């Protein structure tokens, strides 16, 4: 984008945006306002707009589209790929709009686009309700939902996107759509975990809620020299039976500089079921279980927040497998090879029956996953970028080696991973873009590298973009 276009954008926005809603490079708030969680994405937008006024948003989008200025939309701003910011373009920043409203008659939560998981958890807990979400309370609920949403209730209740019941979406042409199973079903399908963005601006999300569970949760820690054996034992137990009442997320990490395996777990069934599953796991892996106790759900949701603060430079790489076959020995080798103590490996396990029970009307592509591994690196110094990125890429490829069914989870992946989000569904994306975003104003993130409706198709495109079969395709059910 040229400097002339950036200046023209600012001039237009000054005429349509109320004072106080626009943050420009000349503003003392600008350097703080432009930052996102992953400091590797150090971009300088031409303008940052903070407003939920639909008329203002329409005029801003018209200005950006007319000038062919790139647009990014920010909810929580936490995606590792930095999709919520852009150089020399327009950032529509909803991070201040965090309201959550609960309707006890419909048992539905209405969520503003900047709300965080903690906002949702706290508000709903007052009514004895919840929505299954992620594991860090400052994560934006909108972005989490668009990519799926893996959290502590996933074993029995599925993903965050599985509980989405509707959305209000502002399109580039100014239309506002109420999207649900009954209206604009194709778009609703894509919003429920497809990982390709919103094809517009989400103004509100609506979720079905669940009764707030009583949970037993905590961490069982082992020295690194026992990690591979413990993970192999977990795999053997899950091969016998994968419970719906127990979510397991072991993490290989450094605690106070010492490498270890922390088997983090959350039981969310009734008391008898919880006792049965924890006893089974305790017999299977051993260890000190003194940290595993009954806890308030919102508090457990925020339990690991400090591990992700303060914001730093970061790189994540993930891989999912349809079998319990990702090698624990390689995982421990990866941690030993980590360049700094802020590197970790998170292992997540899934009950595929639960995931498939919610598959209808959802584009989430990983419902056959039995397990996933996330390699995460965080560091403060730009000079360490190459070292950490190389570690993440190298060890992910080693974990993937020999597996023909691995894919990546879009919320853990940047655009360099061709298997993220809705990869392999290019034809369906073209149909959605033609209907809802023909000029690709909102085609940032994973969708940017997958398809372009304005380019001529080739036989190679048709071969590479065949739709997957079954209910995970991003078309209306």
Of residues 473 and 398, more confidence is placed in: 398
Strand partners, 258: 255
Return the pLDDT at 104.
97
What does the radius of gyration of the chain's CA atoms come to, in whole angstroms? 22
17 in Cβ contact with 24 (< 8 Å): no
Q: Tell me what pLDDT residue 450 has.
A: 62
The pLDDT score that the predictor gives to residue 414 is: 87
Q: How confident is the model at residue 149 (pLDDT cuts 50, 70, 90)?
A: very high
Nearest one of 467, 464, 415, 418 to 444, comparing CA atoms: 415
* Average model confidence (pLDDT) across the chain: 91
**pLDDT band (50, 70, 90) for residue 476:** very low
User: What pLDDT does 459 receive?
Assistant: 35
Residues making up the chain, counted from first to last: 477
Mean pLDDT of 411-434: 74
Task: Kindly indicate the confidence band of residue 2, based on its pLDDT and cuts at 50, 70 and 90.
Answer: low
Ordered strands of the 90-93 beta sheet: 22-23, 47-49, 90-93, 71-74
pLDDT of residue 1: 52
Question: What is the reported pLDDT for 186?
Answer: 96
Give Cα 330 to chain centroid, integer Å: 25
- What does the pLDDT look like over 279-306, one tens digit per residue? 999 999 999 999 999 999 999 999 999 9
pLDDT at 154 over 90: yes
Rounded to whole angstroms, how far apart are CA atoms 262 and 292? 12
Report pLDDT digits (tens) over 13-68. Answer: 999 999 899 999 999 999 999 999 999 999 999 999 999 999 999 999 999 999 99
- C-alpha distance across the termini of the chain, in Å: 39
pTM: 0.92
The predicted structure's pLDDT at residue 457: 37
Which pLDDT band holds residue 452 (cuts at 50, 70, 90)? low
Instruction: Give the count of beta carbons closer than 10 Å to the beta carbon of residue 19.
Output: 6
Percentage of the chain lying above the pLDDT 70 cut: 92
Q: What is the pLDDT of residues 76-86, one digit of tens each?
A: 999 999 999 99
Q: In what order do the strands lie in the sheet with 344-349?
A: 293-295, 215-223, 258-267, 246-255, 344-349, 371-379, 313-321
Domain boundaries in the chain?
3-93, 100-211, 215-412, 426-464
- Residue ranges in 169-216 assigned as alpha helix (H): 185-191
At the top level of CATH, which class does the domain 215-412 belong to? Answer: alpha beta
Which tens digit of pLDDT belongs to each residue from 331-377?
Answer: 999 999 999 999 999 999 999 999 999 999 999 999 999 999 999 99
Class of domain 100-211: alpha beta
pLDDT band at 269 (very low <50, low <70, confident <90, very high): confident
Cα separation, 428 vs 432, in Å, equals 6
| Segment 372-386 mean pLDDT | 98
Confidence at residue 421, expressed as pLDDT on a 0 to 100 scale? 45
Specify the pairing of strand 164-170 against strand 176-179. Answer: antiparallel
Rounded distance, CA 23 to CA 356, Å?
44
- The Cα 140–Cα 142 span in angstroms is 6
pLDDT at 418 over 70: no
Question: Does 456 have pLDDT greater than 90?
Answer: no
Could you report the per-residue pLDDT of 174-227, keeping only the tens digit for each?
A: 999 999 999 999 999 999 999 988 999 999 999 999 999 999 999 999 999 999
Q: Quote the pLDDT of residue 97.
A: 98
pLDDT value, residue 19: 86
Q: Which CATH number fits domain 3-93: 3.40.50.12780, 3.30.310.80, 3.40.50.720, 3.30.43.10?
A: 3.30.43.10
């Amino acid at each position: 984008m040229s400097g002339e276009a950036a200046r023209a954008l600012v001039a237009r926005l000054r005429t349509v945006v109320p004072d106080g809603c626009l943050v420009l490079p000349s503003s003392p708030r600008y350097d703080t306002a432009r930052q996102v969680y992953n400091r590797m994405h150090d971009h300088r937008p031409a303008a940052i707009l903070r407003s939920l006024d639909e008329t203002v948003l329409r005029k801003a989008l018209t200005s950006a589209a007319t000038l062919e200025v790139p647009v990014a939309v920010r909810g929580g701003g936490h995606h590792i790929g930095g999709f919520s910011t852009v150089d020399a373009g327009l950032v529509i920043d909803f991070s201040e709009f965090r309201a959550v409203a609960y309707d006890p008659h419909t048992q539905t939560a209405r969520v503003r686009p900047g709300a965080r998981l903690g906002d949702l958890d706290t508000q709903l807990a007052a009514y004895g309700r919840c929505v299954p979400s992620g594991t860090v309370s400052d994560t934006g609920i909108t972005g989490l939902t668009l990519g799926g949403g893996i959290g502590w209730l996933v074993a029995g209740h599925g993903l965050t996107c599985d509980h989405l019941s509707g959305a209000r979406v502002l399109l580039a042409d100014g239309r506002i759509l109420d999207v649900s199973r009954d209206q604009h079903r194709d778009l609703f399908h894509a919003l429920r975990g497809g990982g390709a963005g919103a094809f517009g601006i989400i103004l509100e999300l609506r979720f079905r809620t669940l009764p707030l569970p009583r949970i037993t949760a905590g961490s069982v820690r082992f020295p690194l020299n026992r990690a591979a054996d413990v993970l192999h034992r977990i795999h053997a137990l899950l091969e016998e039976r994968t419970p719906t009442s127990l979510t397991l997320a072991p993490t290989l990490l450094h605690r106070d500089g010492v490498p270890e395996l922390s088997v983090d777990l959350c039981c969310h069934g009734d008391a008898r079921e919880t006792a049965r599953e924890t006893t089974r796991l305790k017999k299977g892996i051993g260890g000190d279980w003194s940290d595993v106790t009954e806890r308030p759900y919102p508090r457990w949701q925020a339990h690991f927040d400090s591990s992700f603060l303060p914001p730093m430079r970061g790189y994540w790489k993930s891989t999912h497998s349809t079998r319990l076959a990702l090698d624990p020995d390689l995982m421990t080798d990866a941690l030993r090879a980590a360049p700094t103590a802020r590197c970790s490996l998170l292992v997540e396990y899934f009950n595929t029956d639960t995931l498939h029970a919610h598959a209808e009307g959802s584009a989430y592509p990983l419902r056959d996953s039995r397990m996933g591994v996330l390699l995460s690196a965080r560091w403060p110094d730009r000079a360490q970028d190459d070292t950490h990125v190389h570690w993440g890429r190298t060890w992910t490829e080693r974990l993937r080696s020999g597996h023909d069914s691995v894919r990546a989870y879009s919320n853990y992946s940047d655009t360099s991973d061709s298997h993220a989000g809705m990869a392999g569904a290019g034809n369906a994306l073209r149909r959605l873009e033609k209907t809802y975003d023909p000029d690709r104003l909102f085609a940032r993130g994973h969708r940017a590298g997958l398809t372009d409706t304005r380019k001529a198709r080739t036989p190679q495109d048709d071969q590479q973009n065949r739709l997957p079969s079954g209910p995970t395709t991003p078309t209306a059910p």
